[in-house]
Amino acid sequence: MPTTTALPPSVLISEVGPRDGLQSVSRTMPTAAKLAWIDALHGAGLREIEVCSFVPAKLLPQMADAAEVVRHALGKPGLTVMALVPNLRGAEAALAAGVHKLTLPVSASAAHSLANVRKTREQMIEEIRNIAALRDERAPGVKIEAGISTAFGCTIQGAVAEDDVIWMAEQAIAAGADESGLSDTTGMANPAQVQRLFKRLRAALGEHAGAAHMHNTRGLGLANCLAAYEAGVRTFDASQGGLGGCPYAPGASGNVVTEDLVFMFESMGVDTGVDLGRLAAGRAALANGLPGEPLYGMTPEAGLTKGFVYANGRRPATERLLAPLAP
Amino acid sequence: MPTTTALPPSVLISEVGPRDGLQSVSRTMPTAAKLAWIDALHGAGLREIEVCSFVPAKLLPQMADAAEVVRHALGKPGLTVMALVPNLRGAEAALAAGVHKLTLPVSASAAHSLANVRKTREQMIEEIRNIAALRDERAPGVKIEAGISTAFGCTIQGAVAEDDVIWMAEQAIAAGADESGLSDTTGMANPAQVQRLFKRLRAALGEHAGAAHMHNTRGLGLANCLAAYEAGVRTFDASQGGLGGCPYAPGASGNVVTEDLVFMFESMGVDTGVDLGRLAAGRAALANGLPGEPLYGMTPEAGLTKGFVYANGRRPATERLLAPLAP
């Protein structure tokens, strides 16, 4: 009789760098460099990537090549190709391009919703309803994710009522979204709050409860991801090199760094499917595509720990994690 | 009848910057600058400070003024004045200077013990026994802490058996130490391991279980402190500006940053007794005493969150956390 080996627990790391990261940078990464970066991310084992946003090129020239980027990413086996859409018009373009998953940010803060998208929260829920109707008509297999932004606090209105956060998530699912996660847009979350709110979200939404999108503004990114994991979350947004996520200040990276997050989970024995050695090629591709852009992350500099073993039992070829940059 | 208000949970932040931090820097901070820094740390509410180590000045000229620093620190009300001593000779000098607490690093890794102090682990336990006898004779009120270094892995031998870690801690207490904590000397710890090992330590040592000394080498410092807190630990070592802790690489700070750790706990509703606004004066004193030295920490740059309230209900005077440097 064959021995049954228990699989290690696992998480999905959803890489948001090519959208969230590049959108925060004022320069535009050349299309070829974006494609090389996405290739490297996929090659390292990432299986969900937010590759672009569908927004007017006049507003965000960084994303003018969205359809081309999607077309390329669709050729990667096993990859869920995700795009951010702010509204129905963006959703129409994204569905036409053939994405697998749409992500739509809806704010739990009334003040932030008006300031950010000039719509009330109720109008954003209505937008989800319209997008879901369009999806049902044109591409019923496409998933819709509603990310509840400012879920842990708002720089305009301060505290955001937890009831408001859960209410928005419930409304988003009722309007046709498949999943709803929580975003620490402003870097205000703390681990106790993260645990409390994700437990409530999971109790309210069940299988529709979505990803944790944490920022590292005050250094708490990984601690907040750990708290979310302990509350049962199994999908985590992160950005290679910590690119993007509205950093407040020099040195204060915004998004959680993919490399550090993967290292944390793998060293805990939680499988991410990601190879940190191969991820180094992504970091080099990113650095080559945006020369001089500051990249964050401690693990790439420090390397793997002596004797490191991945959660699935693999041993790394080397403890070094920095690939040489292209000449 | 008066209303009974439950006190928030609390932790003790043990500031190690003036010893662990300054010992890692090749330059020597002038004595007056050290005293100003210690004044500012005490003024911010820190109630345990590792102010120096008693080692031959030939080996560590940074610590040549140890007795003078201790004398000054002893004048601060409510402050536990701690010094590191590597051996009996150092303990003799520290007791003569009048410290409240001795801390002695003992390695759980046989290879690290030999490489670091040229003594076996058994010889280090014998050293604790001798130091405890000296303490009993000369200053019975002084506490002895044995910090188990390389408790989470060793850069020389790789993995360190958890049984060895617990055994060393038990031996240290049996030899006369009052408490024994665990140190992630090499930045190899992960949250699952931290929880597991501190739970074992607390089960083995009871009230003698001591502090968590975590490093931020791979960005996991705060996540590991959170894991230790969840395992019941209530004393945490940290260093202002992340100074010290054997950083591996540029950008990879070693010690957990006091400012970020205080922010994490206070935002979770866990009282530290530390005022982040006043801690800014310590950061300025440190920067003035070591011009050009890189300081880490996200919270000082980002400032407090909008509407921030300390665990004990205090409201900060301002959300800004950077004090102007002296001219």
| Whole-number pLDDT of residue B7 | 77
Of B191, B217, B257, the CB nearest to A226: B191
Count of domains forming chain A: 1
Quick check: B28 contacting A, CB < 8 Å? no
**Residue B307 predicted with pLDDT over 50:** yes
Average pLDDT (A217-229) is: 97
| Whole-number pLDDT of residue B109 | 92
Average pLDDT (B176-195) is: 96
Assign A298 to helix, strand or coil.
Answer: coil
Looking at residue A82, which CATH number applies to its domain?
3.20.20.70
Q: How far apart are CA B8 and CA B178, in angstroms?
A: 27
Give exposure, B113-129, as e/b (b: 16+ Cβ within 10 Å): beebbebebeebbebbb
Of chain A, the percentage scoring pLDDT greater than 70 comes to 95
Residue B92 contacts residue B134 (beta carbons within 8 Å): yes
Q: What is the DSSP string of A208-266?
A: GEEEEE-B-TTS-HHHHHHHHHHTT--EEEEBGGG--S---STT---BPBHHHHHHHHH
| Whole-number pLDDT of residue A251 | 44
**Residue A98 predicted with pLDDT over 70:** yes
Q: CA–CA distance from B220 to each of A250, A254, B133 (Å)?
A: 20, 16, 38
**Residue B254 predicted with pLDDT over 50:** yes
Quick check: B116 contacting A, CB < 8 Å? no
Quick check: A11 contacting B, CB < 8 Å? no
Inter-chain touch A307–B158, beta carbons under 8 Å? yes
Confidence of residue B324 (pLDDT cuts 50, 70, 90): low
**Residue A4 predicted with pLDDT over 60:** no
Average pLDDT (B77-86) is: 97
> Radius of gyration (Cα) for chain B, nearest Å?
19
Q: Cα distance from B303 to chain A (closest Cα, Å)?
A: 8
Quick check: B59 contacting A, CB < 8 Å? no
Q: How far apart are CA B274 and CA A128, in angstroms?
A: 45
Q: Cα distance from A161 to chain B (closest Cα, Å)?
A: 13
| Whole-number pLDDT of residue A246 | 63
| Whole-number pLDDT of residue B208 | 98
What tens digit of pLDDT does each residue of A275-316 get? 999 999 999 999 999 999 989 999 998 999 999 999 999 999
Q: Cα distance from A187 to chain B (closest Cα, Å)?
A: 8
What tens digit of pLDDT does each residue of B197-244 get? 999 999 999 999 999 999 999 999 999 999 999 999 999 999 999 998
Q: By mean pLDDT, which of A238-252, B114-128, B287-301 is the weakest?
A: A238-252
Quick check: B294 contacting A, CB < 8 Å? no
Residue A324 domain flag: no
Inter-chain touch B305–A153, beta carbons under 8 Å? yes
Cβ atoms within 10 Å of A120's Cβ, excluding its own = 13
Average pLDDT (B253-274) is: 95
**Residue A1 predicted with pLDDT over 60:** no
Average pLDDT (A226-234) is: 98
Inter-chain touch B222–A220, beta carbons under 8 Å? yes
Residue A323 domain flag: no
Residue A321 domain flag: no
Structure tokens at B12: 């003790």
Instruction: Compare B5 and A269 and report the one with higher pLDDT.
Output: A269
Average confidence score pLDDT of chain B: 93
| Whole-number pLDDT of residue A325 | 57
Residues 6+ apart with CB under 8 A from B156: A306, B109, B111, B112, B115
| Whole-number pLDDT of residue A318 | 87
Residue A307 domain flag: no
Token look-up 């964050």 returns: A296
Residue B3 domain flag: no
Assign B44 to helix, strand or coil.
Answer: coil
- Of A96, B24, A94, nearest to A104 by C-alpha is A94
| Residue of B214, B218, B270 to mutate, interface with A, max A Cβ within 10 Å | B218
CA atoms within 13 Å, Cβ hemisphere of B183: 26
Of chain B, the percentage scoring pLDDT greater than 70 comes to 95
Residue A225 contacts residue A263 (beta carbons within 8 Å): no
Contacts of B187 in chain A (CB under 8 A): 302, 305
Confidence of residue B250 (pLDDT cuts 50, 70, 90): very low
Cβ atoms within 10 Å of A4's Cβ, excluding its own = 6
Residue A310 domain flag: no
Quick check: A252 contacting B, CB < 8 Å? yes
Q: Cα distance from A131 to chain B (closest Cα, Å)?
A: 34
Question: Which residue in chain A has the smallest CA separation from B267?
Answer: A190
Q: How far apart are CA A125 and CA A88, in angstroms?
A: 12
| Domain region containing A104 | 12-302
| Whole-number pLDDT of residue A316 | 95
| Whole-number pLDDT of residue A116 | 82
Contacts of A253 in chain B (CB under 8 A): 298
Residue B57 contacts residue B26 (beta carbons within 8 Å): no
| Whole-number pLDDT of residue A249 | 43
Residue B112 domain flag: yes
Using CB atoms and an 8 Å cut-off, which of residues 132-161 of chain A contact chain B?
A: 153-155, 158-159
| Residue of B239, B298, B299 to mutate, interface with A, max A Cβ within 10 Å | B298
Quick check: B32 contacting A, CB < 8 Å? no
| Whole-number pLDDT of residue A74 | 98
Question: Which residues, listed in sequence order, are joined to residue A107 by a DSSP beta bridge?
Answer: A149
- Of A151, A205, A198, A138, nearest to A178 by C-alpha is A205
Residue B92 domain flag: yes
Token look-up 């000296």 returns: B134
Q: Cα distance from A169 to chain B (closest Cα, Å)?
A: 23
**Residue B167 predicted with pLDDT over 50:** yes
Tell me which DSSP letter residue A18 carries.
I
Average pLDDT (B72-82) is: 98
Identity of the residue numbered A228? A
Average pLDDT (B30-50) is: 98
Confidence of residue A323 (pLDDT cuts 50, 70, 90): confident
**Is-catalytic flag, A154?**
no
| Residue of B216, B268, B272 to mutate, interface with A, max A Cβ within 10 Å | B268
**Residue B115 predicted with pLDDT over 90:** no
**Residue A158 predicted with pLDDT over 70:** yes
Inter-chain touch A227–B226, beta carbons under 8 Å? yes
**Residue A2 predicted with pLDDT over 90:** no
| Whole-number pLDDT of residue B71 | 98
Residue B100 contacts residue B143 (beta carbons within 8 Å): yes
Confidence of residue B252 (pLDDT cuts 50, 70, 90): very low
Q: How far apart are CA B183 and CA B168, in angstroms?
A: 13
- Of A20, A155, A111, nearest to B302 by C-alpha is A155
| Whole-number pLDDT of residue B239 | 97
